[in-house]
Amino acid sequence: MTDTQPQIFKGLAGVVVDVTAVSKVNPETNSLLYRGYPVQELAASKSFEEVALLLWNGELPTATELAAFTAIERASRGLDPEVKLVIDELPLTAHPMDVVRTAVSVLGALDATTADTSPAGNLAKSMLLFAKVPAVVAYDQRRRHGEDVIEPRADLDYSANFLWMTFGEVPDAVVVDAFRVSLILYAEHSFNASTFTARVITSTLSDLYSAVTGAIGALKGALHGGANEAVLHIFTEIGFGPDAERRSKEWLAAALAEKRKIMGFGHRVYKKGDSRVPTMRDSMVRLTEYYDRPDVLELYNGLEAAMTERTGILPNLDYPSGPAFHLMGFDTLTFTPLFVAARVTGWTAHIMEQTASNALIRPLSAYNGVDERHF
Ligand X SMILES: CC(=O)SCCNC(=O)CCNC(=O)[C@H](O)C(C)(C)COP(=O)(O)OP(=O)(O)OC[C@H]1O[C@@H](n2cnc3c(N)ncnc32)[C@H](O)[C@@H]1OP(=O)(O)O
The residue whose Cβ lies closest to ligand X is 266
- Regarding 220 and contact with ligand X (CB under 6 A), the answer is no
Short-list 76, 34, 77, CA closest to 53: 34
H or E element, residue 24:
strand 23-26
CA dist 170 and 174 (Å) reads 11
For the residues of 44-60, what is the DSSP string, one character each? HH--HHHHHHHHHHSSP
Binding flags for ligand OAA, 191-210, as an x/- string (CB under 6 A): -x------------------
Residue 304 contacts ligand X per CB under 6 A = no
- What mask of x and - would describe binding to ligand OAA in positions 298 to 317, judged by CB under 6 A? ------------------xx
DSSP H or E segment with residue 255? helix 244-257
269 sits near ligand OAA (criterion: CB under 6 A): yes
Region near ligand X per CB under 6 A, out of 140-148, 164-172, 208-216, 219-227: 219-227
DSSP string of 181-224, one letter each residue:
HHHHHHS--TT-HHHHHHHHHHHTT--HHHHHHHHHHHHHSTTT
228 and 264 in contact (C-beta within 8 Å)? yes
374: annotated active-site residue:
no
| Out of 316, 332, 345, 355, the residue judged to bind ligand X by CB under 6 A | 316
From the list 318, 326, 331, 350, the catalytic residue is 318
Which of 24, 95, 143, 268 is in the footprint of ligand X by CB under 6 A? 268
Sign of torsion over alpha carbons 266, 267, 268, 269: negative
Is 282 annotated as catalytic?
A: no
Catalytic residue among 224, 267, 326, 350: 267
| Distance of closest approach, residue 239 Cβ to ligand OAA, in angstroms | 28
Active-site annotation, residues: 267, 318
Interacting residue ranges for ligand OAA, rule: CB under 6 A: 189, 192, 267-269, 316-317
